């Protein structure tokens, strides 16, 4: 007897349909799985055999062959266990699957006792199942709240194989999981990092506010102990609230990486990923087998913070160039291309030279010009060209550090950021983007017209500073954000002038 069931495998965030065919025939006992299955799937034979026996059913004595179709698609992980076990039970006549079996999806790993274990990537799997017109999805109970985020499909959380069989045979029905509401939250006020803890540094704070409002990349350069790391950490507290769509996008990526749990099935805050300079290129951009999202994708719609920027190996930094431009990363494998989103804000911090005091007003720099040059060359020109806000974070004088002045809190800065982001969301309603930094060149032309005065100062800057075409567009996007913060519909001269002064100045 033959059984066929449906499941889904993931290629990045995209789910591909997999048909599980189970065939039984007479012969010496043998259990084989074909269809480009990885080791985890081959090992499923032992899990399925024990799970079936320990659930009170019989494992067939003859030859069991399972085919995972299409045969040319590489399949990974234990997510097909459940569908394979059900197929065997149906093929042996121990249960009878309903006639509309091909409208249902089964996903889950089995334990020896027949219990279902959670698997990563349930949210994108459920979303793909809905897009493909499936009406029901059966997932491990631990994953059911995550799957319940998706509307238009009925989700069933399953605890054990036996429980699902009772449901199928109408002995005891499982209640469908309730739909989960997405509710993006603000950062809690008592966050350990706060703008009010950083004394002075108004220039850097202003740049961070602009970066948060429009989603721009930023580099802070300054001597040791001036507060760069502190500022970057406080940056997380001024980021604008997520839209529902953004929360869903982020949760999908985190789901694949196995970073969402049953108690916290939805990512409700913008990610802030701080990466150490010893991290490998694969850890940063993604990869492995099966390909997993890297830090740039886990920081999607949030912040990727690279502290001690110049200490990162040059090769690692160069791989950031393409995703910084495109907002996606494609990991290619013989089995197919895995596309992960990577629209993040890059925030980097570095010292200006090995000793850290080049350009400091009080302390003398001990490095030779060659050493300074060598240090700064570690970050390549093309990468610096992708950074909109270059800020110097100087040391704070004693009076300011010990003064009693009250610094502005993150909450106040965030209110302005939020307002500016709201203007952008309204502007880009028909454009399928959420922030100024995502504008393509035609959109820049459409939304960033300049008056003659602004045009002329920009022309002078482009000529005198030898700016690239990319820098030209990036200045306009930044000016748009500065105008949004000023609640101005038009980009005026001061907005363009401020945007230009954040551009990198090359020392001769
Ligand atoms: N502007 C500031 N206001 C308040 N505290 C500060 C300021 N700058 C530095 N500090 C104090 O100094 C500590 C070190 O600052 P931080 O780690 O941010 O320096 P940094 O610029 O990242 O230095 P490095 O270049 O060595 O990494 C902070 O934890 C904080 O206690
Ligand atoms: Mg630091």
Closest atom of ligand 1 to CA, residue 351? 25
Q: Which ligand is nearest to the CA of 227?
A: 1
Of the listed ligands, the closest to the CA of 194 is 1
Q: Which residues pair with 332 in a beta bridge?
A: 337
Q: Is 374 in the pocket of ligand 1 (CB under 6 A)?
A: no
Nearest residue to 477 (alpha-carbon basis) of 210, 79, 244: 210
**36-50, 133-147, 369-383, 392-406: least confidently modelled range:** 392-406
> Is residue 192 pLDDT above 60, yes or no?
yes
Q: What is the residue with the minimal CA distance to atom 10 of ligand 1?
A: 227
pTM: 0.89
- Tell me whether domains 2-168 and 439-508 share a fold: no
Q: Which CATH code of 3.30.230.70, 3.30.230.10, 2.60.120.10, 3.30.365.10 fits the domain covering 2-168?
A: 3.30.230.10
Ion ligand 2: residues, CB within 5 A, are 228-229
Q: Is the peptide bond before 290 cis (omega within 30 degrees of 0)?
A: yes
Question: What are the residue boundaries of the structural domains of the chain, listed by start?
Answer: 2-168, 195-429, 439-508
For 390, which DSSP code?
E
Terminal Cα-to-Cα distance of the chain (whole angstroms): 79
Task: Identify the bridge partners of residue 136 per DSSP, sorted by sequence position.
Answer: 104, 154
pLDDT digits 0-9 by tens, 11-31: 888 999 999 999 999 999 999
Asked if residue 226 has its Cβ within 6 Å of ligand 1, the reply is yes
**Residue 360 clears pLDDT 50, i.e. is over it:** yes
| Residue with token string 């429980």 | 163
Nearest CA to ligand 1 atom 29: 230
Burial category of 107 from C-beta neighbours within 10 Å (exposed 0-12, middle 13-18, buried 19 and up): buried
Q: Which residue has the CA at smallest separation from atom 13 of ligand 1?
A: 225
Question: For residue 220, which ligand has an atom nearest its CA?
Answer: 1
**Other C-beta atoms lying within 10 Å of the C-beta of residue 271:** 22
Q: What are the pLDDT digits (tens) for 405-438?
A: 778 999 999 999 999 999 999 999 999 999 999 9
Q: Ligand 1 within 6 A of 228 CB?
A: yes
CA of 145 to the centre of ligand 1 (A): 41
Pocket test for ligand 1, best of 226, 312, 365 (most atoms within 8 A of CB): 226
Cα 226 to ligand 2 centre (Å): 8
What pLDDT, on a 0 to 100 scale, did the predictor assign at position 507?
52
Supply the residue whose CA is at minimum distance from atom 4 of ligand 1. Answer: 198
405 against 203, higher pLDDT: 203
| Structure letter (DSSP) for residue 367 | S
Q: Which CATH architecture has domain 439-508?
A: Orthogonal Bundle (1.10)
pLDDT tens digit sequence for 281-337 = 999 999 888 889 999 999 999 999 999 999 999 999 999 999 999 999 998 887 778
Using most ligand atoms within 8 A of CB, pick from 229, 231, 408 the residue to mutate for ligand 1. 229
Please report the pLDDT score of residue 508 as a whole number: 41
Q: What is the CATH number of domain 195-429?
A: 3.40.50.300
Mutate to test the pocket of ligand 1, among 193, 225, 396 (most ligand atoms within 8 A of CB): 225
Tokens linked to 69: 């179709």
Is there an atom of ligand 1 within 6 Å of 201 CB?
Answer: yes
> In a mutational test of the pocket of ligand 1, which residue from 192, 227, 350, 407 has the highest number of ligand atoms less than 8 Å from its CB?
227
Residue 314 CB contacts under 8 Å (≥ 6 apart), including other chains: 378, 380
């Amino acid at each position: 007897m033959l059984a066929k069931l449906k499941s889904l495998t993931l290629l990045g965030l995209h789910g591909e349909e997999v048909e599980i065919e189970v065939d039984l025939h007479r012969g010496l006992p043998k259990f084989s799985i074909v269809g480009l299955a990885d080791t985890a799937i081959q090992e499923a034979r032992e899990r399925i055999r024990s799970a079936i026996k320990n659930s009170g059913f019989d494992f067939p004595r003859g030859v069991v062959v399972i085919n995972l179709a299409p045969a040319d698609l590489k399949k990974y992980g234990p997510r097909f266990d459940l569908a394979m076990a059900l197929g065997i039970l149906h093929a042996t006549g121990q249960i009878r699957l309903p006639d509309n079996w091909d409208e249902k999806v089964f996903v889950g790993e089995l334990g020896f006792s027949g219990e279902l274990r959670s698997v990563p990537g349930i949210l994108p799997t459920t979303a793909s199942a809905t897009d493909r017109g499936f009406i029901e999805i059966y997932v491990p109970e631990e994953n059911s709240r995550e799957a319940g985020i998706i509307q238009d499909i009925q989700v069933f959380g399953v605890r054990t194989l036996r429980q699902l069989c009772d449901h199928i045979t109408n002995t005891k029905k499982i209640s469908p999981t309730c739909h989960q509401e997405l509710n993006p939250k603000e950062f809690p006020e008592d966050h350990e990092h706060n703008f009010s803890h950083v004394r002075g540094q108004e220039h850097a704070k202003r740049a961070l506010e602009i970066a948060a409002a429009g989603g721009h990349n930023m580099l802070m350069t300054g001597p040791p102990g001036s507060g760069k790391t502190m500022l970057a950490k406080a940056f997380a507290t001024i980021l604008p609230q997520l839209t529902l769509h953004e929360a869903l996008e982020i949760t999908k990526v985190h789901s694949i990486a196995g970073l969402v749990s049953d108690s916290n099935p939805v990512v409700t805050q913008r990610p802030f990923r701080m990466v150490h300079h010893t991290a490998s290129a694969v850890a940063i951009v993604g990869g492995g087998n099966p390909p997993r999202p890297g830090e740039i994708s886990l920081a999607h719609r949030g912040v990727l913070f690279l502290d001690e920027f110049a200490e990162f190996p040059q090769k690692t930094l160069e791989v950031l160039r393409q995703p910084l431009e495109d907002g996606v990363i494609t990991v290619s494998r013989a089995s197919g291309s895995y596309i992960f989103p990577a629209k993040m804000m890059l925030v980097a911090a570095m010292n200006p030279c090995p000793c850290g005091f080049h350009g400091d007003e009080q302390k003398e720099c001990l490095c030779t010009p060659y050493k300074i040059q060598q240090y700064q060359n570690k970050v390549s020109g093309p990468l610096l060209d992708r950074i909109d806000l270059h800020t110097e974070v100087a040391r704070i004088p004693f009076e300011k550090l010990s003064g009693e002045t009250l610094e502005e809190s993150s909450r106040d800065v965030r209110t302005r950021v939020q307002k500016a982001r709201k203007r952008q969301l309204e502007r880009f309603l028909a454009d399928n983007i959420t922030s100024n930094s995502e504008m393509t060149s035609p959109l820049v032309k459409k939304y960033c017209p300049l008056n003659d005065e602004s045009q002329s100062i920009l022309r002078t800057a482009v000529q005198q500073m030898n700016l690239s075409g990319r820098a030209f567009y990036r200045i306009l996007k930044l000016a748009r954000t500065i105008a949004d913060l000023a609640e101005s519909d038009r980009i005026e001269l001061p907005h363009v002038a401020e945007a230009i002064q954040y551009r990198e100045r090359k020392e001769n």
